Amino acid sequence: MPVPTHIFDPPFNIIRCSHAVLEVVDLNKSRAFYENTVGLHVEDADDRVVYLRGSEEHQHHSLVLRKASTAACSRLGFKVGNDGDLDKAASFFSENGITYAFVDQPFQGRTLQFTDPIGFQLELYATMEKRPHLLRRYDLYKGCHPQRLDHFNVFSPGVQNTVDFYARLGFRLTEYGEEDGPNGRIAAAWMHRKGNVHDFAITNGRGPRLHHIAYWTPTAMNILHLCDVMASSGYLKNIERGPGRHGISNAFFLYVRDPDGHRLELYTSDYFTGDHDHEPLRWSLKDPRRQTLWGAPAPRSWFEEGTPFTGQKVREPAFVADVTIAD
């Protein structure tokens, strides 16, 4: 299938992925997991919502937990370059028949919410209240010392259409998994704005659903330490996959599930992709090093389970990718 042409003058300027808003059933249990076990820092909280961030982040929040009756993903947030980009985005959406609305969001400046053509619910903003970063506050470090939100990964029922849409917004393809043969279809794609492997990854599957959010850790040893912490604090069964090293991205990883089943990746050691002549790297779906460089395939849950977006109907994928599954 066609690889998109990179666009270096998009209709508006998305800087990076910024934050996720997750709906959780037991807010206290979810807060304890992210704060005490994983190691994110709580910035504000009440009996309905908790705002958290990583130690390197100077913005108010990168993860919002909202109390709800069922677990879901409410929104994924991206930061744009300036307030004018929000008006440019609104014009682009109007011209392309995409419904949007400007809304007030706590701790954020003017915020534009929209649902993309696939059904992913997103919001854009240019400014957020700032807080001093905590990178040198080693006395506050817990868990795996997560430093910053790195990326989102979503299940899409139409990977090619999703890739094409986000390419129009200036997302650049870094790596992709494709069927072999002259008519091979793209089953997964990694796209970025900030100059590493991805801000937004797209995985073939029932969707629209959130596959995972990911936080960057200082070293692989921090990820190994989290395994020890989870195993000794009642979260052994929440370790889903890893630790290991991806072939795609070359990153060291661990996938865990929070108390509501939302998937969280801890991630480090990928590479720079900011050069404009960086060429996308193709992976065969049958390459055993693709999922894990050392050859270990992912479990079935990793391909089938995800978080729905609030109010969005989940659709079957256009095709079922022939991938290797551990069980």
Q: What is the pLDDT of residues 234-245, one digit of tens each?
A: 999 999 999 999
Question: Please, what's the b/e burial string for 127-148 (b: 16 or more CB within 10 A of its CB; e: otherwise)?
Answer: ebeebebbbeeeeebebbbbbb
Question: Of 190-194, 265-269, 286-290, which gets the smallest average pLDDT?
Answer: 286-290
Hey, is 237 helix, strand or coil?
Answer: helix
Percent of the chain with pLDDT over 70: 100
Asked whether residue 50 carries a pLDDT value surpassing 90, the answer given is yes
Q: What is the pLDDT of residue 232?
A: 96
Displacement of CA 323 from its chain's centroid (Å): 21
Displacement of CA 293 from its chain's centroid (Å): 21
Q: What is the pLDDT of residue 175?
A: 97
Asked whether residue 80 carries a pLDDT value surpassing 80, the answer given is yes
Q: Which CATH number fits domain 143-308: 3.30.70.2740, 3.40.50.300, 3.10.180.10, 3.20.20.70?
A: 3.10.180.10
CATH class for the region spanning 14-132: alpha beta
Question: Of 7-11, 263-267, 321-325, which gets the smallest average pLDDT?
Answer: 321-325
Q: What is the pLDDT of residue 130?
A: 97
- pLDDT bracket for residue 327 (50, 70, 90): confident
**What is the pLDDT averaged over residues 253-265?**
98
295-309, pLDDT tens digit by residue? 999 999 999 999 999
- pLDDT bracket for residue 273 (50, 70, 90): very high
**What is the pLDDT averaged over residues 255-272?**
97
**What is the pLDDT averaged over residues 31-60?**
98
* Sign of the dihedral through C-alpha 40, 42, 43, 49: positive
Asked whether residue 53 carries a pLDDT value surpassing 90, the answer given is yes
Q: What is the pLDDT of residue 4?
A: 87
Q: Which residue type occupies 46?
A: D
Structure tokens at 18: 């910024």
Residues 98, 116: contact at Cβ < 8 Å? yes
Asked whether residue 1 carries a pLDDT value surpassing 70, the answer given is no
Q: Which residue, 305, 298, 306, is CA-closest to 323?
A: 298
130-167, pLDDT tens digit by residue? 999 999 999 999 999 999 999 999 999 999 999 999 99
Tell me the helices (H) and strands (E) count for the chain, helix number first: 5, 18
Q: What is the pLDDT of residue 30?
A: 98
What distances in angstroms separate CA 305 from CA 160, 248, 249, 263, 272, one per listed residue? 21, 21, 22, 9, 30
Q: What is the pLDDT of residue 22?
A: 98
Q: What is the pLDDT of residue 2?
A: 77
* Domain parsing of the chain, residue ranges: 14-132, 143-308
Query: If you ran DSSP here, which 8-state letter would residue 135 be given?
Result: T
Q: What is the pLDDT of residue 326?
A: 85
Asked whether residue 293 carries a pLDDT value surpassing 70, the answer given is yes
- pLDDT bracket for residue 187 (50, 70, 90): very high
HSE toward the beta carbon, residue 144, CA cutoff 13 A: 32
Asked whether residue 196 carries a pLDDT value surpassing 90, the answer given is yes
**What is the pLDDT averaged over residues 256-264?**
98
* Sign of the dihedral through C-alpha 27, 142, 153, 127: positive
